[in-house]
Amino acid sequence: MLSTILLIAIGGLVRSTGSGMGCPDWPKCFNCWVPPTNVQELPNGYEAKYIALRLKKNERVAKTLRALGFTETAEKIKNDPSVLEAEIFNATKTWIEYLNRLIGVLIGVFIFITVILAWRLRKTDTRLFWLSLAGLVGVGFEGFLGSIVVSTNLMPQFITVHMILAILLLLVLVVAWHLSKPTPTKIISETEIQKSKPLFYGGIALCSLVSVQIIMGTQVREGVDLVSRQLGEAQRADWVNHLPSVYNIHKLFYYLLLPLTLVWLYKMRELFKFQNVLKTQSFAVFSLLNTEIILGISMHRFAIPAFIQPLHLTIAVSLLAVLFAQTMNLNVSRK
């Protein structure tokens, strides 16, 4: 679970530094398992070679999407002129992207081991086994989608879907982690049950709102990418004024999210005597939410600094993970 959050953080770093095309092929990087550190290590005409490979793969992707009924998206992929843009080798960007892929592989190994360990529980705890298996399938599909992101030269729509699936994968792993914990042996009082039920549904609602906020954030990020290409680095201070309308909704959404979360946490204190972990998680949710708001204000005030962007994303995803884990702890029906 923690490694998945780390992967999302690295993904944010990849996007904020423009390193997504640091490796123009997939799964290798410049056809090497260990990427080059100097342009002299690459053959002459490598740019044209990888453009041709991308075009060939995009043709297959477009054909599949067309067969599934996504004709408009298929045509956009097939006729996107940005695919013909050669990526100039940059060792730093190459290794940032390569680190992103290595962590993805590491997570796949972790989840594969989890599936093996859950296999012996498939009859006594079916949910845990199938959630683990779903996590393994999910991380594999994420890798496949990552290859499409590369072949389409970072088409924004695919980057956003890539992020949303990563968040869904994280939530699946949170549920699996929750189910793997030992079931409490104490008797669950009627008072705890009555207090937990409304808070559980409130927590689900808050998780949904945070998810919507993160998705809106990915759309804002698409706008930042577009504006940065149109205005250039020299006009960075003016980027905020040219972002799409979803940016204003994204900002105002915190005025809804903050008071609702504070009320939920205030009500949570009634359950601290039943589950001590809820107190720790409440403090974490409060701290993460306020940190997220501060980072958002900082990006607005200081021309969207590149180093804050991945941190803003990481805190948002961490908030969702902790909030969802806390909500799972309120599901006393499991006990």
Q: Is residue 185's pLDDT more than 50?
A: no
- pLDDT confidence band for 17 (50 / 70 / 90): confident
Stronger pLDDT, 186 or 175, i.e. the higher one: 175
The whole-angstrom separation of Cα 305 and Cα 138 is: 32
Q: Name residue, tokens 């982690």.
A: 177
Contact 228, 239 (CB under 8 A): yes
| Mean pLDDT, rounded, of the chain | 84
- pLDDT confidence band for 266 (50 / 70 / 90): very high
Largest Cα span, the chain: 74
The whole-angstrom separation of Cα 326 and Cα 200 is: 9
**What CATH topology corresponds to 186-335?**
Four Helix Bundle (Hemerythrin (Met), subunit A) (1.20.120)
Q: Is residue 335's pLDDT more than 50?
A: no
Give the three-state DSSP class for 115: helix
Q: Is residue 188's pLDDT more than 60?
A: no
Give span(s): CATH 1.20.120, the chain: 186-335
